[in-house]
Structure 1
Amino acid sequence: MEAIANGGTRVHKLSILGRQSASITGVVDVISFDEKEVVLDTEKGMLTIKGDGLHISRLSLDKGEVEMEGKADSFLYSDAMNARGKEESFLSKLFR
């Protein structure tokens, strides 16, 4: 499933099946997760998934892939990037 773009970065793709499962590629890291919210760092910014009964059924950060199940209510992207093009950590935002 892993797809690499010409620049060497992973291609980000989000596939949702009936709000009950999702397959996501281009994942750099899992920031946090519980049954109400999953936060992923992707090649296209931070992705926050909110819902109920959420759980990660498969994770491969080497390939940049996540598969999850549960009732998804929202998918929200944010791309607050710092000057180096990296996502700022919570602590760096706190101590600005």
Structure 2
Amino acid sequence: MENHTVFIENREKITVTDITDIDSFDEEEVRARLKTGSIVIKGSRLHLQLLDLAQGKAVVSGLVSSLIYVKVKDKDGKSLLSRLMK
């Protein structure tokens, strides 16, 4: 497994590694895919400052209000928890 890091500077700049793609972005939300799932960055005046997919790195500037990891779903569209609760 690759190392994944998140570095937030004063809630104004966030650097994320292990990025494989950006699903969507606007001034209030950035949705990105990681090798191990997905991540959602929420805030205001967000700007995708750097995207280097070869190195798996993204830098977002603006006012960061939250960072959310999204569950990874299997091929059937079920989360790990729902498969365990069978």
TM class by smaller structure: 0.7 to 0.9
After the TM superposition, list the runs of 4 or more consecutive aligned residues in structure 1 that deviate by more than 3 angstroms. none
| 2:57 is the counterpart of 1:65 | yes
Could you tell me how far 1:43 is from its partner in structure 2?
2.3
Q: Does 1:22 align with 2:22?
A: no
Letter in 2 for 1:80: V
User: Per-residue displacement from partner, 1:67-93 (whole Å, max 9, x unpaired)?
Assistant: 110001010001232139xxxxxxxxx
Contact residue 26 and residue 47 of structure 2 kept, 8 A: yes
Alignment of 1:81-92 (within 5 A): 81-83=73-75
Which residue identity is paired with 2:47?
A: H
C-alpha root-mean-square deviation of aligned residues, in Å?
A: 1.5
TM-score, normalised to structure 2, is 0.81
Which has the larger share of strand? Answer: 2
How far 1:11 moved relative to its partner?
1.6
Task: Point out where structure 1 has 5 or more consecutive residues left out of the alignment.
Answer: 1-8, 85-96
1:83 & 1:68 partners in 2: Cα distance? 30
Give the share of equivalent positions with the same residue, in percent.
30
Question: Any stretches of 5+ residues in structure 2 without a counterpart?
Answer: 77-86
Q: Distance in 1 between matches of 2:9 and 2:20?
A: 22
5 Å matches for 1:1-96? 9-83=1-75
Q: How many residue pairs end up in the alignment?
A: 76
Q: In 2, are the aligned partners of 1:10 and 1:64 still within 8 Å (CA)?
A: no
